[in-house]
Chains A and B, each alone.
Chain A
Amino acid sequence: MIKKLLIANRGEIVPRVMRACQNFGIKTVAVYSDADKGMYYLKQADEAINIGPANPIKSYLNIEAIIDALKKSGADAVHPGYGFLSENAAFAEAVSASGAVWAGPPPGVLKAIDSKCYCRKIAADAGVPVVPGTVKTISDLDEIYKFTNQYGYPIVLKLDKGGGGKGIELVEDDDQVIGAFERLSRIGLLAFGHPECYIEKLIANPRHVEVQFVADSFGNCVCLGERECSIQRRYQKIIEESPSPVVRDQDRSALYDYTRKLSLAMGYEGAGTMEFLRSEDGAFYFMEVNARLQVEHPVTEFLTGVDIVKKQLTIASGIKLDISQEQVELKGHAIEARVYAEDPLSFTPSPGTINKLVFPKIDNSILRIDHAIEEGGSVPPYYDPLLAKVIAWGNDRLEAIRHLRNALIHFQIDGIKTTIPANLLILGSEKFADGNLSTGFIEELYAEVRENSLRPLWPCM
């Protein structure tokens, strides 16, 4: 078993991973940039090592600096967290080369998922339905016209190596092709160093459903239910829940089957997520693999009682999974709201200092808050705006929503703007209560609010 773990990340995921370590008596090493030296969790780690300036390129994305910290600390394993270098094959290889255990999927998997197109091919070859489109990248406009002549518009052009909600262009007719293709190539080159893109038919009003799974090095793959993550702003999730209101038992069996096939075909080890789109006619299509622990993993943990981070640590230590698919029980309903440091109406960033912080009362059986904030603490402008995740459980969906709303109403963060009012607006809408979700939900809801000239009434805080 791992003895000392370096967590190569920042923010709320650091104390989360540290909690799992406590259970096993694993010592922890946290790393931090100059901008994060005041983070509360650094005091809770057994060791904290500075890895460079605020600029993430020079700290959290700096493989050399983190490997130096790893050697200095004598840690025998690395947890990559999410974002930053978590899906970087070169980093995984550097960790292994230094003799430490990589508590993430094998570098081969990370190389494969680097190309969305290649993953589409693996899926199609494994008999998993993919969104209609190309399984090869396109090199010129003619290929786009050829595709649309045959299958029609609208289509979505996607960067093969995009991510984080960047590198997606909707194209509705011939006139838009050139502009979209050029924009995408430019963004691809600028943001990711890769301009290649591919075509997908647009799935109108899709729902985003993903399957959480854990796979060990003995060929066991266990699925832990699905999560619905349709509520997004700028293609970034804001509310997630499980089970999905639209996934029936037979859908779940099919999704589990797809997930196992893909995991096996890829040689997957560790915790991961298979993302699917559900079209309005109820068909599911594989979209992409998230080869990391996901932000919204607590939703699944509440529902199944399985600690996913602990599973990552045992799998990385070469220990066989101690649960079978039959033992996985999905109990009740869990829902998570992400609290971002953003203006709740425009979703523009709002870094700064937290002057006052009051957490809601926490009953562990129905509420969990994962966070990296404290009163007087600063929220730097250099990183992701995620401040906290509030996760609630209920016997059924409406009860879970009620518990979540109640928690958010009593969650007070002053000094910066947060998305708490946006979360409350969404959770309080009739459409949400009805489970009538889509990735365009927020836009439609906000348009409605504006149209009715209603000033949303935030609860007094």
Chain B
Amino acid sequence: MEVTVKAHMPGLVARVVVNEGDKVTAGQEVAVINCMKTEIHVFVESDGVVKEILVKEWDEIEIGSPMIVLEA
């Protein structure tokens, strides 16, 4: 099953801390959003494998923007 990790805050993508193919576990940090100069951490809610990374550093994102696709 595919799960899409979405941004819960708007801003800029500060960094993505996983690579495609990485195994992740629920609660793991996968990306950081820079919102108003504050770093907001993005976590995954379920175990899985990173299938696709949809954003790159400095991309502008909104709440709900898809960031990462997991194969859960």
Stretch touching chain A among B8-16, B23-31, B43-51: B8-16
In the complex, whether A280 has a CB less than 8 A from a CB of chain B is: no
Measured CB to CB, the closest approach of chain A to B37, in angstroms, equals 6
Measured CB to CB, the closest approach of chain B to A123, in angstroms, equals 28
Contact partner, B35, options A53, A57, A351, Cβ 8 Å: A351
Does the CB pair A382–B40 fall under 8 Å? Answer: no
In the complex, whether A412 has a CB less than 8 A from a CB of chain B is: no
Does the CB pair A381–B58 fall under 8 Å? Answer: no
Measured CA separation A17–B36 after assembly (Å): 23
A382-B12 contact in complex given A55-B58, A55-B60, A57-B58, C-beta closer than 8 Å: yes
Measured CA separation A239–B43 after assembly (Å): 33
Does the CB pair A385–B37 fall under 8 Å? Answer: yes
Does the CB pair B60–A349 fall under 8 Å? Answer: no
A341-B60 contact in complex given A351-B10, A381-B9, C-beta closer than 8 Å: no
Q: What is the interface of chain A mostly: helix, strand, loop, or mixed?
A: loop
A349-B58 contact in complex given A381-B10, A382-B12, C-beta closer than 8 Å: no
Contact partner, A55, options B9, B12, B15, Cβ 8 Å: B12
CB-defined contacts of A348 to chain B, threshold 8 Å = 38, 40
CB-defined contacts of A342 to chain B, threshold 8 Å = 36
What sequence of 0s and 1s flags, for each residue 1-24 of chain B, a beta carbon within 8 Å of any chain A beta carbon? 000000001111001000000000
Does the CB pair B36–A351 fall under 8 Å? Answer: yes
CB-defined contacts of A446 to chain B, threshold 8 Å = none
Which chain A residue lies CB-closest to B61? A381
Which chain B residue lies CB-closest to A55? B58
Task: Output the residue of B10, B35, B36, B38 with the most chain A CB within 10 A.
Answer: B36
In the complex, whether A179 has a CB less than 8 A from a CB of chain B is: no
For this complex, 23 residue pairs linking A to B, each with C-beta atoms less than 8 Å apart, are A53-B60, A54-B60, A55-B12, A55-B58, A57-B58, A164-B37, A190-B15, A341-B36, A348-B38, A349-B35, A349-B38, A351-B10, A351-B11, A351-B35, A351-B36, A381-B9, A381-B12, A381-B35, A381-B36, A382-B60, A383-B36, A383-B37, A385-B37
CB-defined contacts of B38 to chain A, threshold 8 Å = 348-349, 385
Measured CB to CB, the closest approach of chain A to B10, in angstroms, equals 4
* Segment 371-412 of A: residues with Cβ below 8 Å from B: 381-385
A384-B58 contact in complex given A55-B12, A349-B9, A351-B10, C-beta closer than 8 Å: no
